[in-house]
């Protein structure tokens, strides 16, 4: 029996600082630099995996794999300093009261929180060549969350080899994804000014609290928020494996992924009807907001094609790999508005075109890559060129939409192996490619010229070095 025990620890920390700004409502006492808050995610994962070959009297041995996992998760949202979100009461030159640091007022004390949970799971996987040409696999997994309940999922895989060079494979599986701690608990509420009609017919800008609410926030519940459910999925795949010539391997797979109760972000529900209801029912100063919700079902269909060729080159080995993916996502169902929201604002658009567009067009439909590796002796050199297809972002109206052109990036790396040590230096996006800039007047162009939806980011080239030791 083979035994594999592992432990992984990871942490992400994102600190928000605002420089060269001011909190207008503090007047001359306002600082120009602010700490606006911190988001921190920590994960601990402990795995035990076992594999064993069994003789059940079949034509070939059966491979049994089983194991267990424990995972601990933490999410900490820390507030910014008091000045970043304070309302100092001093109006601006035109008489408007504008509290909070300009650009980003930070996380308030009421937004902050510390959350944790753990989960444990177990799985079993059986695979066997039932005949010389036909093989099958069957797997099951059980998982339980301390804050969310439990689930069981499974997978069936089949493979039939017509010849040594042509095989057909198929898979079917179910999936489950619990809402992340961030989706359940993140909150960011800021003061915004909304034009409110006065009894005398004039319009006055009034400050209201608007933002992203936790689903258990009473104001969010009044607007129809409900406890998040797990996403459930069904996955189907059908593919062919080819070896047309020696050392050339080609795989082509078609797939279909159906996700029910997908977690999405609602529109900002700030209509006059919603605002008036909140003001009249114990939420003074709350102007509306948005929240995460299980509001849509989606279907993704696509094709993956990968080709790999290996050969000997100058005392070492070489490998050339190319691949192409095409996919299309469609929204199959949009949930009806909850009764609470419909009673307040009949016909309100809870899931709007911006979020629907993010799901269907917010990532490239196609991607192509060409990569090569040459490994002479203890050295290894790798290069990968990738073409990222176009993607689009959407606003509340067509005038706010933008399509971003396809782009190429190049990644390079060199490694040297010395005994149990491996040293690597490399660069991602070494040609310093950037996505298209946002068009004037859209989104956050004034202080962030690039879309956060870019599939390869917007930070340009990245150079790195790492050292690995195996024992």
Highest mean pLDDT among 79-93, 153-167, 189-203: 153-167
- Tokens found for residue 367: 């991607």
Do 110 and 191 contact (CB within 8 A), yes or no? no
pLDDT at 443: 53
Is residue 8 pLDDT above 70, yes or no?
yes
Mean pLDDT of 192-209: 67
Average pLDDT value for residue range 214-233: 93
- Residue among 318, 285, 282 nearest 192 (CA): 285
Residue 433's Cβ-count burial label (10 Å; 0-12, 13-18, 19+) is: middle
* Contact in structure between 430 and 410 (CB atoms under 8 Å): yes
Please choose, from the candidates 82, 76, 105, 87, the residue with its C-alpha nearest in 3D space to the C-alpha of residue 18.
Answer: 105
Residue pLDDT, tens place only, 63-90: 999 999 999 999 999 999 999 988 888 8
Q: Are 212 and 269 a contacting pair, CB within 8 Å?
A: no
Tell me the chain's radius of gyration from C-alpha atoms: 27
Q: Percent of the chain beyond pLDDT 90?
A: 75
The model's pLDDT over 15-47, given as tens digits with 9 standing for 90+, comes to 999 999 999 899 999 999 999 999 999 999 999
Q: Which of the pair, 218 or 236, is modelled with greater confidence?
A: 236
pLDDT band per the 50, 70, 90 thresholds, residue 384 = very high
* pLDDT tops 60 at residue 234: yes
Q: Which residues contact 223 (CB under 8 A, 6 or more apart)?
A: 269, 274, 278, 288, 289, 291, 340, 341, 344
Which tokens hold the place of 216? 């258990």
Q: Angle at Cα 320 formed by Cα 319 and Cα 324, nearest 5°?
A: 140
Task: Look at residue 400 in the predicted model and tell me its pLDDT.
Answer: 83
pLDDT of the residue at 311 = 95
Phi-psi group of 398: left, alpha or beta (phi > 0 → left; psi -120 to 50 → alpha; rest → beta)? alpha
Its pTM stands at: 0.88
Give whichever of 14-23, 85-94, 97-106 has the largest mean pLDDT. Answer: 14-23
User: Tokens 């529900």 — which residue?
Assistant: 269
Q: How far apart are CA 290 and CA 211, in angstroms?
A: 6
Task: Return the pLDDT at 465.
Answer: 98
Q: Which residue has the tokens 């609410």?
A: 213
The whole-chain average pLDDT of the chain stands at 92
Mean pLDDT in residue range 231-257: 98
Give the tens place of pLDDT for each residue, 260-282: 999 999 988 888 898 888 888 88
Share of the chain above pLDDT 70, in %: 95
- Measured CA to CA, the distance from residue 307 to residue 252 in angstroms comes to 9
H/E/C letters for each residue in the chain? CEEEEEEEEEEEEEEEEECCCCEHHHHHHCCCCEEEEEEEEEEEEEEEEEEEEECCCCCCCEEEEEEEEEEEEEEEEEECCHHHHCCCCCCCCCCCCCCCECCCCCCCCCCCEEEEEEEEEEEEEEEEECCCCEEEEEEEEEEEECCCEEEEEEEEEEEEEEECCEEEEEEEEEEEECCCHHHHHCCEEEEEEEEEECCCCCEEEEEEEEEECCCCCHHHHHCCCCCCCCEEEEEEEEEEEECCCCCEEEEEEEEEEEEEEEEEECCCECCHHHHHHHHHCCCCCEEEEECEEEEEEEEEEEEEEEEEEEEEECCEEEEEEEEEEEEEEEEEEECCCCHHHHHHCCCCCCCCHHHHHHHHHCCCCEEEEEEEEEEECCEEEEEEEEEECCEEECCCCHHHCEEECCEEEEEEEEEEEECCEEEEEEEECCCCCCCCECCCCCCCCCCCCECCCCCCCCCCCEEEEEEEECC
What value does the mean pLDDT take over residues 339-356?
91
pLDDT reported for residue 193: 62
Q: At 25, phi and psi to the nearest 5? A: -75, -10
8 A C-beta contact, residue 188 and residue 109: no
Neighbouring residues of 18: CB distance < 8 A, sequence distance ≥ 6: 33, 34, 36, 84, 101, 102, 103, 104, 106
Q: How far is CA 69 from CA 44, 66, 138, 145, in A?
A: 10, 11, 19, 12
Q: How confident is the model at residue 206 (pLDDT cuts 50, 70, 90)?
A: low
Question: Which are the contacts of 456, defined by CB distance < 8 A and separation ≥ 6?
Answer: 386, 388, 407, 409, 429, 433, 435
Answer whether 402's CB lies under 8 Å from 395's CB: no
445 has a pLDDT exceeding 60: no
pLDDT band at 112 (very low <50, low <70, confident <90, very high): very high
């Amino acid at each position: 029996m083979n035994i594999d025990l592992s432990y992984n620890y990871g942490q992400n920390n994102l600190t928000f600082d605002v420089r060269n700004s001011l909190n207008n409502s503090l007047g001359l006492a306002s600082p120009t630099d602010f700490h606006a808050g911190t988001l921190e995610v920590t994960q601990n994962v402990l795995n035990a995996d076992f594999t064993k070959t069994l003789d059940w009297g079949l034509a070939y041995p059966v491979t049994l794999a089983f194991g267990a996992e424990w995972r601990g998760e933490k999410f900490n949202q820390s507030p910014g300093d008091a000045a970043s979100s304070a309302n100092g009461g001093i109006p601006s030159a035109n008489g408007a009261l504008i509290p909070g640091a300009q650009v980003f007022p930070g996380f308030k004390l009421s937004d902050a929180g510390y959350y944790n949970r753990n989960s444990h799971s177990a799985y079993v996987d059986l695979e066997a060549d039932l005949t010389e040409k036909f093989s099958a696999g069957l797997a099951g997994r059980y998982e339980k969350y301390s804050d969310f309940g439990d689930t069981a999922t499974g997978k069936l895989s089949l493979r039939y080899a017509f010849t040594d060079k042509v095989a057909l494979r198929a898979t079917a599986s179910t999936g489950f994804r619990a809402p992340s701690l961030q989706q359940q608990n993140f909150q960011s509420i800021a003061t915004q000014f909304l034009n409110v009609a006065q009894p005398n017919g004039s319009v006055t800008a009034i400050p209201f609290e608007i933002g992203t609410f936790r689903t258990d926030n009473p104001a969010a519940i009044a607007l129809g928020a409900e406890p998040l459910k797990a996403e459930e999925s069904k996955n189907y795949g059908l593919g062919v494996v080819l070896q047309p010539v020696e050392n050339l391997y080609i795989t082509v797979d078609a797939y279909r992924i159906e996700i029910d109760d997908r977690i999405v972000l609602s529109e900002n529900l700030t209509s006059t009807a919603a605002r008036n209801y909140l003001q009249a029912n114990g939420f003074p100063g709350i102007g509306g907001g948005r929240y995460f919700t299980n509001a849509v079902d989606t279907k993704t269909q696509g094709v993956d094609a990968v080709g790999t060729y290996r050969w000997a080159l100058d005392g070492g080995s070489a490998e050339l790999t190319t691949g192409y993916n095409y996919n299309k996502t469609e929204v199959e169902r949009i949930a009806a508005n909850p009764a609470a929201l419909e009673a307040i604002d009949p016909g309100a658009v809870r899931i709007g075109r911006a979020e629907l567009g993010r799901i269907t067009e917010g990532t490239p439909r196609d991607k192509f890559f060409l990569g090569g590796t040459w490994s002479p002796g203890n050295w290894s050199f790798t290069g990968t060129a990738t073409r990222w297809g176009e993607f689009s972002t959407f606003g509340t109206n067509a005038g706010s939409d933008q399509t971003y052109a396809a782009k190429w990036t190049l990644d390079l790396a060199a490694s040297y192996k010395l005994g149990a040590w491996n040293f690597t230096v490399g660069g991602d996006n070494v040609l310093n490619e950037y996505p298209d800039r946002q068009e004037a007047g859209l989104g956050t162009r004034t202080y962030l010229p690039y879309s956060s939806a870019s599939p390869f980011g917007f930070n340009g080239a990245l150079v790195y070095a790492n050292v690995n030791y195996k024992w």
